[in-house]
Structure 1
Amino acid sequence: MRIPVPREFSFAENYSHLATATNESLYTLVDGAIYKAIAVNQQATVVEITAEDSTYIRIRFIDEPHWDSPELRAGVAQYVYDWFDLGTDLAPFYEMAKNDPLLKEAIVSFYGLRNMGIPDLYEAICWGILGQQINLGFAYTLKRRFVEQFGQALLREGRSYWLFPTAEQIAGLTVEQLSAAGITTVKKCEYLIDTARRIAEGTLSKEQLLQAGDVKQAEKMLVQIRGIGPWTAHYVLMRCLRMPSAFPIDDVGLHNSIKHVLGLEAKPTKAHILELSAGWSLWESYATFYLWRFLY
């Protein structure tokens, strides 16, 4: 199965970005190929994702007896399309960024990089909550514990590939069960369960957030939920909802990236960041992602 890619796309750049993740539990990289478990409704499968020249992404099912199912093939294709953000036209972003002091080097260094997202809302929120107030390495450790304790493993060719736990699975758990799995604080356990219940009950969904109309209204909806502050809200809106104006302006990584690019002695103030980003309108999300790439 093949998916055409835009001209402003580089499989190698996105593969390199994925390779920076430490202790990643939800995909495996081997010799230029990405292996990932994907769930389509009630069916789960494992695929190999590779580049075919510069014009296609090729998807191969691994030991999948139902590989010819139209529903499965369409669902996997949609997931990969969304994961790589293939529907976004980056030409206007590159046109804007080529004269921007912060971004002009980034778009040359990482040309073709996509804001590789987190299509599942619960997974995106969990990653935001798990990563609060800890370093990135430990956040990946917590994520792996969470996934391997409560997720589903698919065995293919002697290797296990993991699916992220669903909201429905976590909604019925207790704080004690999450704590036993190594989640470090009671509050984080409560936040993960509370969010899972909201999604499982249908009171929180991607559709509802998209219908909010704009990033400010969607942020208001999210920050009403325990454990979700402005940073987590914008992270979710950026990585899952693909809202182009999502802007986690208080992110430490963004501050360090700006400091690095401009050669500053200290991290920039919020006022300075707002001044520097004045020309990024509708591209704040991609600008942040490209600046992060200098560090991650």
Structure 2
Amino acid sequence: MNKNARIYIAGHRGMVGSAIWRALEAKGYTNLIGRTSKELDLRNQNEVSEFFSSEKPEVIIDAAARVGGILANNNYPYQFLMENMLIQNNLIDFSLKTDVQKFIFLGSSCIYPKMAPQPLKEDYLLTGPLEPTNEWYAVAKITGVKACEAIRKQFGKDYISLMPTNLYGPYDNFDLKTSHVLPAMIRKFHDAKESGNSHVELWGSGTPMREFLFVEDLADAVVFALENKFQDNLYNVGTGKDLTIKELAELIQKTVGHTGEIIWDSSKPDGTPRKLMDVSKMEFAGWKAKVELSEGINKTYQWFLENKENFKEVKI
């Protein structure tokens, strides 16, 4: 890949996009393009058309999405479905129309069926019902995967989809109404510690198992995908290791230094029993995650402490 190639990172201010930006800069890429949501509304077809005409990007990395946890997905199903489809459809379609040769589409492990065998293989896509608590987001991402696959099949362009497992890291969303489980726990344990180590109430039973990938590892995987030509269209990106939500809570509690009680509210939903990615396909291609969970959580908490006065709040 030419280090002067015009690379547009959609969502460059978010946790994922900003990590990709930093990783590309560190590798010597000099022509990165970014637009805030105020400067470019990716849901607006006319604005996206004008952007492609004026900027003429050669590579697109789609890290733009409306994201959130179980609560946000349950409460705002239409926005999670429609806004994500509008964003990715505009980017994919105008990339095809303007002859963009390389497109990296980022999705999520939630595209796989709720009760799919573990670990999750790429071949399990569309083989069963989705997890109801995030199916709206999942359906949108599946359409993006299939659109890239169709372009690859019909037009022979190097459009690929990377499906990361649960992500966390600097610039995460720590708003308790819309955040994912790991940053929400960091916020809860920190606030409880500051309140005299009061108890922390967590959703569910603590028994579901989850896999977590430090966002800088994902950024490294994106750079690897940019600089290499993959044989297939869909690749899982993860660590290949998981742990229970209870074990995660105890690890975060220890990292934060909270000494109060943890109370599990079993009346709240657990979500999918287990979501472990089969990452053998990506490893065979030559990439493997490097950051251990304990190290990543410590780095994330340090970032939180440095930025907690103005951390990202999400408004619906």
Report the TM-score range of the alignment, normalised by the length of the smaller protein. under 0.3
TM-score, normalised by the number of residues in structure 2: 0.26
TM-score, normalised by the number of residues in structure 1: 0.27
